Every structure is written in C-alpha cells, then in structure tokens.
C-alpha cells in the first residue's frame, strides 16, 4: 500500500477560487495558485517568486474540451509573467512552484520545464500551448533523482488545485487478488483497459475505437474530447476505426466508453472483466460484502 501524505492547501483569502498555497510535509517545494486578475496581489504577497520557479498558465476551452496549458520556467517570475500577461489572452489562472530553501537552480527548472512539456504531450490530458519542446539541460546524474522527486510532488498537487493534467504514477486497482483488467467492445470498437486506484481508466495502446459517431453523439460533451484526442495524435485513423497510439487515462469509465463506442455510454455497464462481469457487478459485490463487517 502506498504511504500517505499530508498536503496542506491554504486559502489565503478564504475563497476556494482565490489565491491558494499548497505544501507537502517534508518537501521543500511550495506552490502558489491564483486567478489572472490577482497577479498583482500574488507577486506582492510572495517575494519568493523572484527565485527560480516552474509555472503553469491555464485556460479553460471555449467548447468544454481539454484545458489549455503553457509550461514555463523563470529566474524571477515577476518580470516573466508581465510578458505573458500582455501577449497571451487565452489563460485565466496561474500555478507557480518554487523551492523554499532556494535549492532549485536555473538548470533545475529548465529540466523540470522540459520533462513536464514532454510528459504532458504524452499524457494528452490538456492542449499544450508551448510552441517548442524546451531542450533538456545537462544535469549531473546525482541531481536527477531530486528533480524527479520535485516533479512527482508537482504532479501530485496540481489535481488538488483543479488541474488533473499529468499521468499519475499509480498502480491499477486490485480486487479479488489481482489487478482489474477490463474490456469495452462494440461495433468497430474493441478496447482493453486497466481500472486505476483513483477510479480512472487507462486505455491501453493498440485499443480500437469506432470512427463514425452516432447522430446523437455529435452534440455530446465527450465528442469534443474524442476530436481533441484525434487532433493531438492519441487516436489515429485506420479504416473505420481509430487506434490508440499510446496508453491514455480517462477521468471515468463513462468518458472512456463514450469515446471508444462513439455514443453516449454508461461506463460501469460497458466495461467488463475477463469473466464477463461489468464494473457495476463488481462494485455491487463490494457493497454487498460490507454487510459482513
């Protein structure tokens, strides 16, 4: 079982959508999050942002699709964000990470910027606004593990701030002594996935989704998600099907099933284990077992 973590999110103004601070016990890093219209207050309140820092600009899609994200690094956030504030009009909020003990160096934040950009492209859970892939700097081998630990804490805290954009380093859910591998099948569609511990579904590379949408799906919320997965190359056309070019994590079984079947779908009923049990059957059995406790 994974060890627990104590994460503190402080609402600096008492507002869930206002300026927020995030800390993890025994981690030197710290995150600051807030809306674009509070930039002056953020910069004024946190002079630490003039240190080396990693930051994310975030903007919601106009049509309900994937969140738009820009990843950057700065040795002095105040001057860097002014350029973004005037030149980019699509973003509405910012998250900045820095080290409280000033242990992050310029090369360190360049490393983090590079790996974050690369891994966000692979995850396909946002629309990445970076026009170029930042170069990976030369880093001493002994420093990489510390930077990867910093990366892990960043990706752990971002979902708590409302940005679930990275693939988390997690294991599949285990029920009945084994990892839950599930499948979703329909006309011109056949996908294999893994149910994850947080309830999401990882659809595995090579799975097949239906290309042609049902008429009703043309106005469905998940149609936008399907279109964006095609646009970023996660789904590639192959005849009357779309092939998953890489593993992809969906927020729910229903989101995954809808994209795969190209229609509205109730994920708990569409996904089945190797014995033909639906997720709903499996979950109902779990609830029934509660009576024995």
Write the pLDDT tens digit of every residue in 138-175: 999 999 999 999 999 999 999 999 999 998 766 555 55
* Nearest to 28, CA basis, from 95, 101, 96, 97: 101
In total, how many domains does the chain have? 2
In a domain, 2, yes or no: no
SS3 (DSSP) at 231: helix
Select from 161, 193, 213 the last residue of a domain: 161
* Res. 81: pLDDT tops 90: no
In a domain, 1, yes or no: no
What CA–CA distance (Å, rounded) separates 293 from 222? 39
Residue 110, domain extent:
7-161
Instruction: Note whether 232 and 104 are same-domain residues.
Output: no
Instruction: Note whether 90 and 184 are same-domain residues.
Output: no
- β pairing state of 68-75 and 29-35: unpaired
Contacts of 129 (CB under 8 A, 6+ apart): 57, 68, 69, 70, 88, 90
Instruction: Note whether 93 and 194 are same-domain residues.
Output: no
pTM score over 0.85: no
Of all residues in the chain, the percent with pLDDT exceeding 70 is 93
Instruction: Note whether 118 and 198 are same-domain residues.
Output: no
Instruction: Note whether 145 and 286 are same-domain residues.
Output: no
Asked if 62 and 48 count as a contact pair (C-beta separation under 8 A), the reply is no
Tokens 């999401």, residue? 200
Instruction: Note whether 12 and 153 are same-domain residues.
Output: yes
* Nearest to 120, CA basis, from 106, 109, 134, 107: 134
pLDDT category at 177 given cuts 50, 70, 90 is: very low
Of all residues in the chain, the percent with pLDDT exceeding 90 is 70
Asked if 259 and 247 count as a contact pair (C-beta separation under 8 A), the reply is no
Instruction: Note whether 280 and 186 are same-domain residues.
Output: yes
In a domain, 129, yes or no: yes
Mean pLDDT over all residues of the chain? 90
Task: Please give the pLDDT value at position 180.
Answer: 79
Instruction: Note whether 141 and 258 are same-domain residues.
Output: no
């Amino acid at each position: 079982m994974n060890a627990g973590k104590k994460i503190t999110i402080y609402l600096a103004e008492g507002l869930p959508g206002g300026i927020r601070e995030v800390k993890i016990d025994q981690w030197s890093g710290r995150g600051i999050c807030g809306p674009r219209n509070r930039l002056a207050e953020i910069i004024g309140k946190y002079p630490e942002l003039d240190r080396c820092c990693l930051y994310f600009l975030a903007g919601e899609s106009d049509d309900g699709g994937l969140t738009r994200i820009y990843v950057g690094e700065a040795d002095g956030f105040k001057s860097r964000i002014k350029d973004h504030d005037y030149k980019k009009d699509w973003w509405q909020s910012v998250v900045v990470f820095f080290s409280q003990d000033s242990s992050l160096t310029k090369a360190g934040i360049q490393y983090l910027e590079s790996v974050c950009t690369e891994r966000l492209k692979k995850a396909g859970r946002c629309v990445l606004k970076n026009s170029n892939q930042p170069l990976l700097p030369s880093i001493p081998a002994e420093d990489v593990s510390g930077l990867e630990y910093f990366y892990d804490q960043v990706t752990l805290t971002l979902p708590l701030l409302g940005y679930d954009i990275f693939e988390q380093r997690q294991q599949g859910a285990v029920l009945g002594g084994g990892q839950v591998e599930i499948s979703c099948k329909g006309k011109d569609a056949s996908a294999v996935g893994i149910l994850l511990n947080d309830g999401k579904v990882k659809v595995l590379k090579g799975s097949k989704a239906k290309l042609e949408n049902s008429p009703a799906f043309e106005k469905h919320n998940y149609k936008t998600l399907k279109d964006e997965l095609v646009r970023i190359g996660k789904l590639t056309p192959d005849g009357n099907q779309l092939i998953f070019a890489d593993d992809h994590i969906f927020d729910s079984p229903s989101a995954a099933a809808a994209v795969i079947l190209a229609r509205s779908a109730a994920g708990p009923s569409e996904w089945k284990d190797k014995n033909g049990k639906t997720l709903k059957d499996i979950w109902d059995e779990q609830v029934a077992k509660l009576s024995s406790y």
